[in-house]
């Protein structure tokens, strides 16, 4: 059995960011205020090594901010502190901006054992990027992605869904372009509007009117399907639950089980496609996905019940993941 991947997460909030994006408050997202230093890296890694039984699939991950844009001496301080732990880990993962990638910094990262680089692409539409104060273009994402792949790193792209000025059309176009780049991993982040950000000001003034939550679930479900079809791993879908996000949120698409909602929507659509007006159906899915097909808090079952349709879901080892098969129906 393949060992489960895990991260030893070290957050570097806002460090290196040359811009303050309209949606961004890394300290609220990470629940962290102070910048980490070498002693913090050593403490976090030592504790994690004691708590994780098998770290062969574990990466030391520097998240938040723009890692390759922080002062080089500080960046090397953090990377150097991680070196003693690499013998027991898969490698080092970092996140950064697309416009902060160049050949020299990639050579340096390679020397320190960095194996994966995630880019905060957010959107592949220049108008959306500009409206949200990103300070880079879609062309920067293409250029940085190509460099990262050429240098042999695992490439990850982070995409935000429902940004200010985005539409269903721009979201679809973004994912067509993301698929064309073919990263190894993707993170899907529906927008959470945090107080103190420019996005919050736009939202509270009525200038920014987010798309309905249900449409965002549909759009994200589409993105999940596209990634699965292309063999791209979606390693995150929605912000992780945190007290700070819950306290600072003024709007947007936060839900502690957002991925479950999207996976349930995938199954619901497939069931709807196989319905022909009958009132009772039995669908088979792979056994480990029965709860996904039923939906978060039985959402899928309840949706059909409201229409007078009874749905039963059973397990069948022969049905592939995220597929369902109608095996019985009654008028």
Sequence-distant (≥ 6) Cβ neighbours of residue 102 within 8 angstroms: 147
pLDDT score for 17 = 76
Burial of residue 86 (number of CB atoms within 10 Å: 0-12, 13-18, 19+) = middle
pLDDT score for 231 = 96
Contact predicate 273/244, CB 8 Å: no
Domains of the chain: 6-256 (3.20.20.70), 264-330 (3.40.1260.20)
pLDDT score for 15 = 65
pLDDT score for 278 = 97
pLDDT score for 26 = 52
Which tens digit of pLDDT belongs to each residue from 40-79? 999 999 999 999 989 989 999 999 878 999 999 999 999 9
pLDDT score for 28 = 46
C-beta atoms surrounding 223 within 10 Å? 24
User: Which has the closest alpha carbon to 122: 96, 84, 103?
Assistant: 96
Which tens digit of pLDDT belongs to each residue from 248-302? 899 999 998 999 999 999 999 999 999 999 999 999 999 999 999 999 999 999 9
Q: Which segments of the chain have a pLDDT < 50?
A: 1-2, 28-32
């Amino acid at each position: 059995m393949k060992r489960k991947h895990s991260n030893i997460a070290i957050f570097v909030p806002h460090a290196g960011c040359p811009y303050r994006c309209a949606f961004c408050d890394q300290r609220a997202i990470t629940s962290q205020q102070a910048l980490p230093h070498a002693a913090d890296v050593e403490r976090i890694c030592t504790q994690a090594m004691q708590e994780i039984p098998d770290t062969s699939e574990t990466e030391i991950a520097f998240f938040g901010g723009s890692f390759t844009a922080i002062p080089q001496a500080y960046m090397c301080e953090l990377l150097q502190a991680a070196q003693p732990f690499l013998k027991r880990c898969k490698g080092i993962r970092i996140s950064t901006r697309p416009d902060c990638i160049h050949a020299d910094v990639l050579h340096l990262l390679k020397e320190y054992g960095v194996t994966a680089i995630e880019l905060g692409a957010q959107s592949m539409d220049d108008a959306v990027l500009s409206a949200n104060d990103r300070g880079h273009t879609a062309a920067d994402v293409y250029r940085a992605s190509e460099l990262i792949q050429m240098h042999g790193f695992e490439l990850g792209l982070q995409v935000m869904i429902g940004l200010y000025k985005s539409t269903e059309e721009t979201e679809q176009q973004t994912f067509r372009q993301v698929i064309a780049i073919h990263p190894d991993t993707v993170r899907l982040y529906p927008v959470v509007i945090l107080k103190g950000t420019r996005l919050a000001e736009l939202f509270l003034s009525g200038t920014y009117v987010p798309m309905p939550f249900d449409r965002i679930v549909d759009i994200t479900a589409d993105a999940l399907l596209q990634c699965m079809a292309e063999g791209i791993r979606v390693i995150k879908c929605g912000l992780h639950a945190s007290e700070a996000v819950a306290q600072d949120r003024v709007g947007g698409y936060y839900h502690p089980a957002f991925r479950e909602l999207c996976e349930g929507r995938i199954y619901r659509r497939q069931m709807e496609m196989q319905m022909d007006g009958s009132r009772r159906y039995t669908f088979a899915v792979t056994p480990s996905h029965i709860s996904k097909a039923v939906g978060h808090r039985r959402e899928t079952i309840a949706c059909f019940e409201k229409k007078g349709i009874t749905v039963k879901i059973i397990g069948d080892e022969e049905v592939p993941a995220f597929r369902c098969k109608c095996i019985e129906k009654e008028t």
